[in-house]
Structure 1
Amino acid sequence: MSTTPAGHVARSTVRPNFETSRRTPLRTFLHTDDGVTIDSVYDPSRAVYDVSAQPAGHLAFVVAHGFTGDVDKPHVRRVIDAFAQYGAVVSFSFRGHGASGGLSTVGDKEVLDLAAAVRWARELGHTRVATVGFSMGGSVVLRHAALYRSGQEGRTEASSDAVVSVSAPARWYYRGTAPMRKLHWLVTRPEGRLVGRYGFRTRITHREWDPVPLSPVEAVPHIAPTPLLIVHGDRDGYFPVDHPRSLHEASDGHADLWMEPMGHAEHAADDELLGRIGDWAVGAAG
């Protein structure tokens, strides 16, 4: 499949009608607003319905994976398959991950990747989009929802109608757990970035943030009125429970908070939880 010329609005160069696209998986490269190519996949809904009666605007999930994940990894595919029971799914590899171009900025410029994927879902005919992110992706969906919230002039094409953040950090530079200290070594040390490149297929920038981007907890107050669900495990080895509680408190009662008996991100989210998230998104994105 050919790709869009750099600098154009993120879109697939194939322009399928919705009746076809919702039955046939599609794969293409999208282009972000800063010109990075993003490997992206569209999976049609597997929900049982009368296709001829289904309106073109039915729900699409846009899945944002965690750090070192990509669209082809089994734990990401399992999440995609679960949400496809509730609606169509757009998934993608963040910059620097898998077959996508660019370098990972570990949650900063990745907001542009998510915006490109949301625009593509809307191009395919979906008028309702729920963004669901895990770990790093969880921080990205929060920041995206604040920066691209509905009603901002020129940004509604890329905004979401419901947001689910799973296992996300509340604040940057957290090193209070052993896994996060290892992650900081991976990101900040030259030898760590080599491990990321060759061990995890993740290419990480050596540049420090400048300026430091809006943190997840700073983003949350700006998400309303978009429905928001915060999901976190009480056994999360990366981010302890003060992180989701801080996010929930910052929402001033707007967000739903689910504390679950689980560990961290996609690997820990079982099918039952993913099903409940799917149900919540269907109702919230209404």
Structure 2
Amino acid sequence: MNAAGEGRAKPGSVVRTTLRTADGVPIEAVHLPCAVPSEGPGAAGPHPVAIVVAHGFTGSADRPAVRRAAAAFAQRAGVITFSFRGHGRSGGRSTVGAREVLDLDAAVAWARALGYPRVATVGFSMGGSVVLRHAALGAAGQGGRTEARTDAVAAVSAPARWYYRGTAPMRRLHWVVTTPAGRLVARAGLGTRISGARWSPVPLAPYESVPLIAPTPVLIVHGDRDPYFPVDHGHMLAAAGPAELWVEPGMGHAENAVDDDLLARLADWLAATAVR
């Protein structure tokens, strides 16, 4: 096994595999083909676009909200879902966004290995911070490989800056991540294994990542009722631009709060923008 996974998906096939990250962590991943057949030259091969989905903290490829998003995106493109380290059936321990760029890197490289000429990434909450930093590192030639480049990036409910504790949910999350008792609760109650090591060095912040991504298109999506990260996080990310901003009235946080209409609009934006 390696970063490109095991084998190749045939057109129309659903494949579950294990990827190996650059630092040796096994990552579970799933390929869902586009539900709408491709047309024109090369129609027997994969759809021209794959959307790689990066879930939020405590999520996984098999969580209902992630599977619902994947099914919606599969109406417009091929889809790769995966579980970050420390989540689901993946190995390792979560670093809450730091080394997770290597997990995304492996998933994007797998999409390329499956034959997709264009790959877009979309991340929710923690996954949103990861897709932004992954795209920035790849654009700067730091930590990204040619086969793991992205053609469009969307971050939904992402934090703009690290160590935010301005809401009660985020103060609870910091307790979970930074204390032995909290990490035990996360493992026993949520199935999420968290590393106790501190970040060293501190990763590039999401708002610092956005301006480095150009000319790859960036979309920032944020709900105005997000209980974790207030909408100023979305504005801060977009202002760091260039980036497009969608502020969604009444929307809460991440994949659990995204309705069918927004999923369809996201799929349309990702599939269309990736081929421009």
The residue number in structure 2 matching 1:117 is: 107
Is the aligned partner of 1:95 residue 2:95? no
Is the aligned partner of 1:11 residue 2:1? no
TM-score in terms of structure 2 length? 0.95
The 1:129/1:243 distance shift into structure 2, 3 A limit, reads same
The residue number in structure 2 matching 1:181 is: 171
Is the aligned partner of 1:47 residue 2:40? no
The residue number in structure 2 matching 1:104 is: 94
Q: 2: distance between equivalents of 1:114 and 1:103?
A: 15
Correspondent of 1:78 among 36, 53, 68:
68
The 1:153/1:96 distance shift into structure 2, 3 A limit, reads closer
Is the aligned partner of 1:209 residue 2:202? no
Q: 1: distance between equivalents of 2:111 and 2:15?
A: 11
The 1:73/1:158 distance shift into structure 2, 3 A limit, reads same
> 8 Å contact 2:37–2:43 — kept in the other structure?
no
The 1:61/1:154 distance shift into structure 2, 3 A limit, reads closer
> 8 Å contact 1:57–1:128 — kept in the other structure?
no
Deviation sequence 1:42-74 (CA, Å, 0-9, x none)? 011112545973554610000000000001111
Specify the code of the residue in structure 2 equivalent to 1:218.
E
Higher deviation after alignment, 27-36 or 44-53? 44-53
Q: Percent of aligned positions with the same letter in both sequences?
A: 62
The residue number in structure 2 matching 1:241 is: 231
The residue number in structure 2 matching 1:268 is: 257
Q: 2: distance between equivalents of 1:29 and 1:205?
A: 21
Specify the code of the residue in structure 2 equivalent to 1:273.
L
Correspondent of 1:250 among 218, 240, 252:
240
Cα distance, 1:198 vs. partner?
Answer: 1.0
Deviation sequence 1:124-162 (CA, Å, 0-9, x none)? 000100100000000000000000128779722111000
Specify the code of the residue in structure 2 equivalent to 1:244.
G
Unpaired runs of 5+ in structure 2? none
Give the match's secondary structure for 1:282. helix
> 8 Å contact 1:149–1:156 — kept in the other structure?
no
Deviation sequence 1:56-114 (CA, Å, 0-9, x none)? 46100000000000011111111111101011100000000010000000000000000
The residue number in structure 2 matching 1:279 is: 268
Q: 1: distance between equivalents of 2:189 and 2:104?
A: 25
Give the match's secondary structure for 1:229. strand
Specify the code of the residue in structure 1 equivalent to 2:271.
V
Cα distance, 1:14 vs. partner?
Answer: 1.8
The residue number in structure 2 matching 1:35 is: 24
